[in-house]
């Protein structure tokens, strides 16, 4: 049964990144979705997936972990926070979105199941107090980020680059280049990362998607032609 589950659970074997800049927050993710083999390896590619979701007009969220768990939590988060805003007639803060997501993950991973619930989020957005970035771990731990954060299998390649090249007060343009560099490095080394890059920028009064690239593979003639 465990082998059957491991072969058929869709993973987002992933790299998602959030970078705090002086003039906004850069949020990026790769686009590869795969089925996991036993032991956590990648069995084969399931296709392309959008790993940055727009929760509402003020908040975006990245996904890593089991695709079904991530999507279910996001759907509930979107609905519950909308109901809360209608009832109170006030706009929820980014921290409230992150807190509710953390509570759901805390409960989900501790609920006995044949398929463990695993989801990891970066939540970014703006409210009356400015722009915010939160890291919400699979166990429900929540952390406000003031520099950078990364999730997914690609952190092995991304963290050394972020650690050495991130600078406090860097511009959004510099943050974009840094995020793209991290995803390209992970794509070259991690079989669970790739296919393309999706990237958003969050500012104090709006967010926008600034990059949506898909890798295109092609065959080229080598110097030694087949005869």
CATH code at 50? Answer: 3.60.20.10
Query: Choosing from 10, 12, 14, 88, which is the catalytic residue?
Result: 14
pLDDT above 50: residue 177: yes
Q: Considering the domain boundaries, does residue 143 fall inside one?
A: yes
Domain extent, residue 73, equals 2-203
Query: What is the average pLDDT value for the chain, to the nearest integer?
Result: 88
Q: Is 63 a catalytic residue?
A: no
* 225 assigned to some structural domain: no
* Residue 30 CB-half CA count within 13 A: 32
pLDDT in tens, 10-37: 455 689 999 999 999 999 999 988 765 5
Position 43 scores a pLDDT of 54
Q: Please report whether residue 33 resides in a domain.
A: yes
Distance between CA atoms of residues 119 and 122, nearest Å: 10
Whether residue 170 is contained in a domain is answered as yes
pLDDT class of 116 with cuts at 50, 70, 90: confident
- Whether residue 101 lies inside any domain: the answer is yes
Query: Is residue 41 predicted with pLDDT exceeding 80?
Result: no
Tally of structural domains, the chain: 1
Burial of 223 (0-12, 13-18, 19+ CB in 10 A): exposed
């Amino acid at each position: 049964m465990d082998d059957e589950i491991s072969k058929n659970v869709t993973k987002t074997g992933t790299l998602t990144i959030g970078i705090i800049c002086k003039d906004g927050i850069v949020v990026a993710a790769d686009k590869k979705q795969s089925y996991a083999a036993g032991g956590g390896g990648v069995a084969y590619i399931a296709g392309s997936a959008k790993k940055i979701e727009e929760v509402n007009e003020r908040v975006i969220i990245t996904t890593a972990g089991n695709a079904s768990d991530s999507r279910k939590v996001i759907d509930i988060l979107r609905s519950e926070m909308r109901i809360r805003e209608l009832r109170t007639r006030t706009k929820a803060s980014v921290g409230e979105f992150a807190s509710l997501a953390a509570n759901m993950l805390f409960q989900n991973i501790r609920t006995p199941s044949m398929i463990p619930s695993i989801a990891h989020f970066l939540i970014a957005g703006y409210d009356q107090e400015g722009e915010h970035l939160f890291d919400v771990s699979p166990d429900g731990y929540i952390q406000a980020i003031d520099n950078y954060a990364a999730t997914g299998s690609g952190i092995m390649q991304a963290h050394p680059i972020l650690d050495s090249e991130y600078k406090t007060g860097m511009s959004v343009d510099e943050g974009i280049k840094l995020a793209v560099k991290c995803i390209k490095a992970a794509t070259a080394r991690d079989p669970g990362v790739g296919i393309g890059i999706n990237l958003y920028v969050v500012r104090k009064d709006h967010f926008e998607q600034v990059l949506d690239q898909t890798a295109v593979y092609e065959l080229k003639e080598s110097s030694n032609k087949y005869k």
